[in-house]
Amino acid sequence: MFNRNFSVRRLPGFGAIAIFTFVILYLPIVILVVFSFNSGLSQARWEGFSLQWYEAAFNNRQVRDVSIRSLWLALVASGLATVLATLAALGTTRVSRFPGRTMIYALINQPLMVPEIVTGIALLIFVAAIKVQTGYTGMGYLIAAHTAFCIPFAYLPIRARLETMDITLESAAADLYASHWQAFRYITLPLLVPGIVAGFMLGFVISLDTVVITEFVKSAGQDTLPTYMLGQLRRTVTPEMNAIATLFLALSLCIVTAFFLITRKRGA
């Protein structure tokens, strides 16, 4: 069975299935985006190019409100989570095994392992009890919930960066009589920046995406963009929702691309 073109990497049919999978993954998204520019109501019949649904979305006061709330919630929560995760990463890397280390890892990664619905109802119960006691119904609950949920995502790239960093530079700083703080401020921190930026971006995207936890924690009038959309999907959906989803997708795509470029440069 001699075949000049024989490749050990080829498995017949796999390429076709892979292309099929990619098409299936992208086709619905492409349809969603294309029909956000449709002038009619249909999701299948093209009736001409129009920006009317974008106009409708921009003029929809509720959509504006929930988008702004989503964005600043994501900024605040991922900012806090990044600071906390950076400290935690500094505390857990390059240290000898100490009692309770596994416990700390488990706590940090816990939001990843428990289904979101369980965390959601747990927070609902907890928040309801605090509300009864204090009467506070502000955004604090959502900020705390989102921050906790973003910590593991922010922690991963920061810790990865710390672990691959060149430790000799810090030793050199110490040899040159830099204090702990100076070595951290002028050596460790600047080297850590790509990891911190990546962690912040992941946290930001995760906070923007979080539906279930927000749905159960929010008080009246605290809808974010995803919970607003979830509520709207119950009704007859117009392409205005396509327009909103497309803008949302574009934002995520920008962040993910930036994240990809930052982490790739690190590897190179």
Partner 1 sequence: MAEAPERHGWKWLLCAPALVVLVTAASGPLLIVVAYSFLTPGNMGGVVWEFTLEAWFRVFFRRDIFDPESITFNQAHLTVYWRSVWLSLQTTFICAVLGFPTAWFIATRPPSSRTLWLFLITIPFWTNLLIRTFAIQEVIRNNGTINTVLLQMGVINQPIQMMYTDFAILLGMAYVFMPLMVLPLYAAMDKLDFRLVEAGYDLYASRVQVLWHVILPLVKPGFIAGSILVFIPAIGAYVTPRVLGGGRTMMLGNLIALQFGQGRNWPLGAALAMLMLIIVVGALVFYLRWANREEARNV
Residue 240: CB minimum distance to partner 1, A: 12
Which residues, in sequence order, are CB contacts of 195 under 8 Å at separation 6+? Answer: 89, 157, 158, 159, 160, 161, 162, 266
Q: Quick count: other Cβ atoms within 10 Å of Cβ 129?
A: 10
**124 near partner 1, judged by CB under 8 A:** yes
**Nearest C-alpha neighbor of 194 from the set 82, 68, 91:** 82
Stretch that binds partner 1, among 39-47, 48-56, 58-66, 185-193 (CB under 8 A): 39-47
H or E stretch at 1: none
Q: By CB under 8 A, what part of segment 176-195 binds partner 1? A: none
Residue 10 phi/psi, 5-degree rounding, is -95, 135
Minimum distance from CB of 15 to partner 1 (Å)? Answer: 6
Q: Is residue 136 near partner 1 by the rule CB under 8 A?
A: no
Stretch that binds partner 1, among 28-36, 51-59, 182-190, 192-200 (CB under 8 A): 28-36
For residue 237, the SS3 value is coil
Contact between 205 and partner 1 by CB under 8 A: the answer reads: yes
Compute the least distance from the CB of residue 221 to partner 1, in Å: 18
Q: Does 173 bind partner 1 (CB under 8 A)?
A: no
What is the total count of residues that contact partner 1 (CB under 8 A)?
95
CA–CA separation, 152 vs 203, rounded Å? 9
CA distance 127 to 122: 9
Question: What residues between 214 and 253 interact with partner 1 by CB under 8 A?
Answer: 216, 226, 229-230, 233, 237, 241-242, 245, 248-249, 252-253
C-alpha atoms less than 13 angstroms from C-alpha of 248 in its C-beta half-sphere: 27
Taking CB under 8 A as the rule, does residue 145 contact partner 1?
A: yes
Q: Which stretch binds partner 1 (CB under 8 A): 43-51, 52-60, 182-190, 191-199?
A: 43-51
> What part of residues 58-87 is at the interface with partner 1 (CB under 8 A)?
80, 84-85, 87
Which residue, 57, 31, 58, is CA-closest to 42?
A: 31
Residue matched to tokens 């990891």: 195
The residue behind tokens 């119950």 is 234
21: its two tokens: 């999978």
Position 116 contacts partner 1 (CB under 8 A):
yes
Q: Applying CB under 8 A, which of residues 101, 131, 164, 258 lies at the interface with partner 1?
A: 101
